[in-house]
Amino acid sequence: MTDDHAESANVLEGVHFLDGDTACAEGAIAAGCCFFAGYPITPSTEAAERIAARFPKLGHLFIQMEDELASMAALVGASWGGAKSMSVTSGPGISLMMENIGLAVMMETPCVVVNVQRGGPSTGLPTMVGQADVMQARWGSHGDYEIIALSPDSPQEAFDFTIKAFNLAEQYRVPVLLLMDECVGHMTERVVIPPAGEIKLASRRYTDLPPDEYWPYIPNDDLVPDMVKAGEGYRIHTTGLTHDEKGYPVMSAEAQKTLVERLVNKIRKNADDIIDIAERGTREAEIIIVAYGITSRVAEPAYDWANRNGIKTGYIKLNTLWPFPEKRIRALARKVKAFIVPEINLGQIALEVERCAAGTAATRSVCHAGGAVHDPEEIIKVIKEVAK
């Protein structure tokens, strides 16, 4: 796979003031997305509106589907036709998309799905913040599989991480979820869009084999197969059923083992290359705050307060939620007293931290059910308790 660059005609180079939803839309355009299918839903609609306005001028296709289930099906078809494709939604829409996200996993379809999280369950709090979809992102479809999910904390990261999401989708032939939240989606901040020539893009992994030698699911050394464009002379059979390297259904435990273990291992064995975390002060820390999305920004004042007051505290920002940075958490657990995990749910990533710490270090969840961000004092209070 080689690195391409964004097309200069598509990139609005310069300094802008954008909300996170709009920055995400511009990131998709810079990444080469040329097909969007979706259905309006708060708090993600601004992204769809931006794409609807920009795509026709670029010769790209925006289509509003009848619902989110159909939107996800359209993404799968468009990707197999050679398009970089994306949808944007929120919690109720993600629930409807999950069946076809599982199909995309099984068919190894590169695409990007943005979830601007709001308070749930059900209709919940359409205009207010939540972070309670992180476990759904990992486990929302049925069966064994691995997926990639990123979490931006700002409009700038919404732009940058959308590009990264497309690159990862192409590299690993997997749906990639961008787990934004309502606060990031709706906050307006300075966003720097670099020149097109500085935006590196991952090329789709197309085969060099002639049509009579190509099978759609023969893996490369990294366990990821090459693709072709439907309609260019290659015979393609792909299905949600368990299948062999030709793409034909095979109903056996042996075929299931071969296929599903590869789908899982193409992510697990490349996890070190996929995982992205940012660390501050972890070398000497006795306490480490682990946070993501908007909560990572709210946690910074607590981190600063602790260190000003002589409490050796570190900070980990999870840019990648899935795969989870298990090895790093396990390594740090052997050195620290406790992890503190603030999040706008009733304790989801805290359970992952606790699992990886495995009793070696304590895990304290600082959580609430949604509707507002934390007060930094909530986190400081727990830091004080742990530091006693």
So what's the pLDDT on residue 307? 97
Mark whether 77 and 184 lie in a shared domain: yes
| Residue finishing a domain among 152, 172, 202 | 202
> Is 244 within a domain?
no
So what's the pLDDT on residue 3? 63
| Residue finishing a domain among 135, 169, 202 | 202
| Residue finishing a domain among 170, 202, 234 | 202
Mark whether 290 and 157 lie in a shared domain: no
For 225-263, the pLDDT digits (tens) are: 999 988 888 989 999 999 999 999 999 999 999 999 999
> Is 13 within a domain?
yes
CATH number at residue 290: 3.40.50.920
In which residue are the tokens 């996800």 written? 72
Mark whether 194 and 287 lie in a shared domain: no
Mark whether 198 and 97 lie in a shared domain: yes
Domain span at 53: 3-202
- Helix axis angle for 293-308 and 376-387, nearest 10°, is 50
Distance between CA atoms of residues 339 and 336, nearest Å: 8
| Low-confidence spans in the chain with pLDDT less than 70 | 1-3
For 142-183, the pLDDT digits (tens) are: 999 999 999 999 999 999 999 999 999 999 999 999 999 999
Mark whether 323 and 174 lie in a shared domain: no
- Helix axis angle for 155-172 and 20-30, nearest 10°, is 40
Instruction: Tell me how far the alpha carbon of residue 291 is from its chain's centroid.
Output: 15
So what's the pLDDT on residue 139? 97
> Is 149 within a domain?
yes
> Is 192 within a domain?
yes
> Is 146 within a domain?
yes
So what's the pLDDT on residue 1? 45
Q: How many domains does the chain have?
A: 2
> Is 269 within a domain?
no
So what's the pLDDT on residue 388? 87
Tokens at residue 90, please? Answer: 């929120």
CATH number at residue 82: 3.40.50.970
Distance between CA atoms of residues 110 and 317, nearest Å: 26
